[in-house]
């Protein structure tokens, strides 16, 4: 027997909570189903030394400023988790934790949401499942042959696990730079990237990135020329630990190896190096398995959307994930705007 509601939000991380905030403001009945037993979404899985790349006030969801963390300009993950737990409670958001959504089916005018705790019937679904459950590993020759340890950044916790080991960190983005910096002084580090790392200017943090994304949105909305995404500024935010390691000359990079061997890697010139572990900082893909079979067409793992709404079926919205659901929508401060627009469009659909 299925329960009834107007909207099911799948995922109770920051994106799902921002959706709940705006649905509640518009008086739309909904439920938020989240697989994790506790609040915090993917912030529950980050490595110990991770700090936000924006100050607290620039890391806020709609309606409530993130409080400053004592003694820290850039808050840590525990502070974000506490903020999200408080946010959920403060706005009495109807989150059901520990509920895994297996699939969504079309059922006439309704959508049927199947979970490991029974089913729901709804008139619209917001998918806000993030990317953490889908780490991406590139197809590198020899990956299965390597006898050492392979870890994705999704599961990296800290340098302790790699003390004294020969570690290869793969990836030229923020995770690669931050984990490489984290390992300096603990492991024998080799950092490899496909192209030379592109650091943002030292005075650019998440604030400037958000302003840039907002200016771009405004330009596009007003029919002006595209000012370019934040990627046009660089790939790596020079957060203090990265800056310190880089300036101390500890973040040298090598060009990506050509293959993994049983005991390490082979470089493009044919020479080899031994390694105990490889840490893949190679990104994520949207976690959308629960929508497989619905034929919501898209490319490169993204579903085709207009704003956050599926072009194929307007009862489906997508929040978070990346720029394809709105500029900076996978950040704390950036998800508010697309969440508000999503709630408004759903109100119009229900009307
Ligand atoms: P998530 O936090 O992943 O939440 C999704 C939720 O959905 C999870 O609780 C998950 O369990 C649940 N779920 C998934 N599948 C299902 C299912 N089938 N059924 C039920 N529940 C499901 N952003 C910033 O704003 N500032 C930063 O400084 C910053 N730094 C970052 C640093 C790193 C290294 C990374 C990786 C990201 C960073 N981000 C930062 C980006 C961003 O804030 C996070 O990726 C954020 O967690 C995305 O939130 P979300 O709610 O979309 O997804």
**Residues enclosing ligand 1, CB less than 6 A?**
10-16, 33-36, 41-43, 52-54, 59, 100-101, 128-130, 132-133, 174-175, 206, 287, 290, 320, 330-332
Q: What CA–CA distances, in Å, run from 33 to 5, 291, 303?
A: 12, 15, 21
Residue 208 has a pLDDT of 76
Compute CA 119 distance to the chain's CA centroid, rounded to the nearest angstrom.
27
Whole-number Å distance between alpha carbons of 205 and 223: 28
Digit-coded pLDDT (tens) for 156-178? 999 999 999 999 999 999 999 99
Atom from ligand 1 closest to the CA of residue 154: 36
From 3.50.50.60, 3.30.465.10, 3.90.1150.10, 3.40.1020.10, which CATH number describes the 149-199+235-280 domain? 3.50.50.60
Average the pLDDT over 230-248 and give the result: 87
Digit-coded pLDDT (tens) for 31-76? 999 999 999 999 999 999 999 988 999 999 999 999 999 998 889 9
Digit-coded pLDDT (tens) for 173-188? 999 999 999 999 999 9
Report the CATH superfamily, name and number, of domain 3-134+284-350. FAD/NAD(P)-binding domain (3.50.50.60)
* Length of the chain measured in residues: 351
The DSSP output letter for 107 is E
Structural domain boundaries of the chain? Answer: 3-134+284-350, 149-199+235-280
Average the pLDDT over 279-298 and give the result: 92
Listing DSSP states for 172-236 in one string gives SSHHHHHHHHHHTTTSEEEEEESS---BPPTT--HHHHHHHHHHHHHHHHTTPPP---GGGT-SB
Q: Are strands 188-193 and 253-255 parallel, antiparallel or unpaired?
A: parallel
Distance from Cα 12 to the centre of ligand 1, integer Å:
9
Domains 3-134+284-350 and 149-199+235-280 share a fold: yes
């Amino acid at each position: 027997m299925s329960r009834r509601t107007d909207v099911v939000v799948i995922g109770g991380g920051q994106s799902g909570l921002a959706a709940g905030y705006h649905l509640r403001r518009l008086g739309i009945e909904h439920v938020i189903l989240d697989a994790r037993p506790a609040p915090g979404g993917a912030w529950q899985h980050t490595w110990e030394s991770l700090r936000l790349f924006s100050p607290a006030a620039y890391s806020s969801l709609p309606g409530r400023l993130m409080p400053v963390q004592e003694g820290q300009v850039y808050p840590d993950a525990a502070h974000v988790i506490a903020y999200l737990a408080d946010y959920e409670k403060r706005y009495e958001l109807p989150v059901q934790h520990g509920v895994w959504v297996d699939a969504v089916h079309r059922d006439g005018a309704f959508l049927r949401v199947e979970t490991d705790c029974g089913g729901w019937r709804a008139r619209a679904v917001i998918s806000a499942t993030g990317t953490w459950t889908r780490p991406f590993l590139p197809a590198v020759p020899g990956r299965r042959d390597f006898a050492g340890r392979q870890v994705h950044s999704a599961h990296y916790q800290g340098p302790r696990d790699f003390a004294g080991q020969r570690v290869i960190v793969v990836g030229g983005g923020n995770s690669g730079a931050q984990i490489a910096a984290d390992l300096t002084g603990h492991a024998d580090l080799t950092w490899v990237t496909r192209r030379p790392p592109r650091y943002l200017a030292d005075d650019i943090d998440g604030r400037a990135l958000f302003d840039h994304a907002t200016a771009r949105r405004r330009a596009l909305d007003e029919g002006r020329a595209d000012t370019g995404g934040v990627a046009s500024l660089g790939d790596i935010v020079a957060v203090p630990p990265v800056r310190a390691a880089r300036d101390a000359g500890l973040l040298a990079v090598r060009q990506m190896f050509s293959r993994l061997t049983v005991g390490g890697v082979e470089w493009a010139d044919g020479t080899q190096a031994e390694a105990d572990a490889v840490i893949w900082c190679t990104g994520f893909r949207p976690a959308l398995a629960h929508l497989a079979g619905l034929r919501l067409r898209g490319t490169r793992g993204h579903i085709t959307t207009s704003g956050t709404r599926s072009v194929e079926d307007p009862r489906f919205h997508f929040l978070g994930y990346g720029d394809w659901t709105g500029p900076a929508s996978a950040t704390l401060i950036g998800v508010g705007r697309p969440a508000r627009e999503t709630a408004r469009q759903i109100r119009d659909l229900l009307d």
